[in-house]
Structure 1
Amino acid sequence: MSNLVEGELRRQGRTAFDVDIGDEAFAFTNVSFEDRKVTGAQIAEAVGANPATDYVVLLHLPNHQLETIRPNETVDLKDGARLFVIKGDGTDRFFVDGIPLEWPRKTLTGTSILFLAGKGADLELVLERQDQPDKVIDEDDEVRIGAPGVEKFHTRPAQVNVTIFVNTRPTPWTKKRIKFEEVVLIAYPVPPPGKEIVYTVGYFDGPPKHPEGSLTQGKSVRVRDQMVFDVKFTDKS
């Protein structure tokens, strides 16, 4: 909904309710509704999912559970609510730290499962298995949740003990990820002289799906043993 329409609604004493609607790839679209009470069909139609009966609509609750909204079912949305609209005819159930979750697709990545369960990126996901040892699920690993039975996962602090190289200097690292600011601090524990220092951080020999790239302020990357970081600075003053 445009700002002009939202402004007109408010002039009429009505409110626009903004929600985020995600797809199976976890790409979100911000959508506004004139009424906070909408049906599952209206939610699906808002992102072009027609016919609505071919899609599953899920409401991501504050406690991180997922609730299926049927096409003719009305839900009372709160501003900023998060939903998913995904093609499918049903969901499979699984648990993370006892939290019941459901999903219309047969597979999910480790990152997506942690996101749905509201777990931090510094935790690792563990698939519980009865007939063999539990399995640590990497961020990029795809897990089949549509298999017979109900999959159960738990999380724990990531058990990491690797060596990374920052500007050729070997550095022990014990966290699953490393932030831009942490790499910069390792490279320059004493900030370079200058009033406006700007850092650039590049890396290579990283995780298989993202072996090289750059980090920007506020971002992080998953670490791998022998991963290499190159930190440079420029004085913009």
Structure 2
Amino acid sequence: MSKSFQVKIDGEIFSFDDPIVTGTQLLNAAGKRPLDEYLLFQRLKDGQFEEIRLEESVDLTLPGLERFKTFRSGESFRLTVDGRRFEWGAPEITGRRLKMFADVDPDGFDVWLEIRGQEADVIIADKETTRLDTPGIERFYTAEISITIVVNGRPRTVHKRSLSFTELVKIAFPDTQPAPNTIFTMVFKNGPDENPQGSLVEGQSVALNDRMIINVTKTDKS
């Protein structure tokens, strides 16, 4: 039985009998026609994307599943993330994709657009898009999230933009073990615009900002 070689194109699995395939073969397999209207990018092991031309060959015998992404476009756009250069086949890109380029924990890091000549750079949220077709190369950088919240009167530094009820209980009472007779109640204020104040129950999460005040109360049922 002959061996087949699998690849992933735009999230979908395709199989080839040959261990060496061209950009044309990959686009044809994915149904991307006419070929000259599409760009094909291969995701490398370090997270970067490299454009594969129609006549260019790709070796499928290397360890791991080769991954590709296509764009219907006539040009690609260059950008840098944390000083590393990437190419992208669309004029806009999301914050989440930029974090993937940087290979950082998306929940623990923010990504920023560097604005030269201005005082403040711009943060790009995960689902937010930013344009790449402005003059020059757009430069982005990542930074670990660091937010100071006040839990039961004590400042605590966290590295996420939101926390769950359970995570906040552990911050407030780190030595308390879950027990059926223990009830926790939680209220907060000075929060961000999406949740400036209110209460939280088990199973919920809350967005955070600096100096947000959270009070957690423990009650033992008797």
TM score, norm. by length of structure 2:
0.69
Matched with 2:53 is 70
- 1:107 shift after superposition: 0.8
SS in 2 for 1:161: strand
Post-superposition shift, 1:128? 1.6
Does 1:16 pair with 2:16? Answer: no
Instruction: Measure, in 2, the Cα distance between the counterparts of 1:158 and 1:184.
Output: 20
**Map of 1:201 onto structure 2:** none
What CA distance in whole angstroms lies between the structure 2 residues aligned with 1:224 and 1:179? 7
Partner residue, 1:231: none
Distance 1:206 1:71, change over 3 A: farther
SS at structure 2 position matched to 1:43? helix
Judge conservation of contact 1:207–1:224 (CA < 8 Å) in 2.
no
Displacement after TM superposition at 1:172 (Å): 5.0
TM norm structure 1: 0.65
CA 1:110/1:144 → structure 2, altered by over 3 Å: closer, same or farther?
same
Deviation of 1:31 after TM superposition, in Å, equals: 2.3
Aligned twin of 1:123: 109
Change in 2 beyond 3 A, CA 1:191/1:57: same
Please state how far the C-alpha of 1:32 moved relative to its aligned partner. Answer: 2.3
Count of residues paired in the alignment: 190
Contact kept, 8 Å, 1:176 with 1:222, in 2: the verdict is no
Correspondent of 1:82 among 67, 77, 90? 67
Q: Report SS of the residue matched to 1:155.
A: strand
Counterpart of 2:146 (choices 137, 149, 159) is 159
Equivalent residue number for residue 12 of structure 2: 29
Q: Is the 8 A contact 1:207 1:223 kept in 2?
A: no
Q: Residue deviations 1:49-69, cap 9 Å, x none?
A: 112221110011112221111
CA distance in 2 between counterparts of 1:186 and 1:98 reads 35
Assess, with a 3 A threshold, how the Cα gap between structure 1 residues 163 and 52 changes in structure 2: closer, same or farther: farther
Query: CA shift at 1:103, angstroms?
Result: 0.8
State how far apart, in whole Å, the 2-side matches of 1:129 and 1:185 are. 39
User: Does the aligned pair in 2 maintain the 1:126–1:134 contact within 8 Å?
Assistant: no
1:143 is aligned to 130
- Whether 2:203 is the aligned partner of 1:224: answer no
Partner of 2:160: 176
**In the aligned structure 2, how far is the partner of 1:46 from the partner of 1:188?**
56
Higher gyration radius (CA): 2
SS where residue 112 of structure 1 aligns?
A: helix
Percent of paired sites with the same residue: 28
**Other structure's SS at 2:93 match:** strand
Residues 173 and 83 (structure 1), Cα distance of their counterparts in 2 relative to 1, 3 Å cut: same
- Any conservation in 1 of the 2:113–2:124 contact (CA below 8 Å)? no
Gaps of 5+ in 1: 1-11, 23-27, 195-204, 209-214, 229-237
The letter of the residue matching 1:157 is E
Q: CA deviation at 1:182?
A: 3.3
Please tell me the residue identity of whatever aligns with 1:88.
S
1:107–1:143 CA contact under 8 A, matched in 2: yes
Per-residue CA shift, 1:194-234, capped at 9, x if unaligned?
8xxxxxxxxxx9996xxxxxx99xxxx88334699xxxxxx
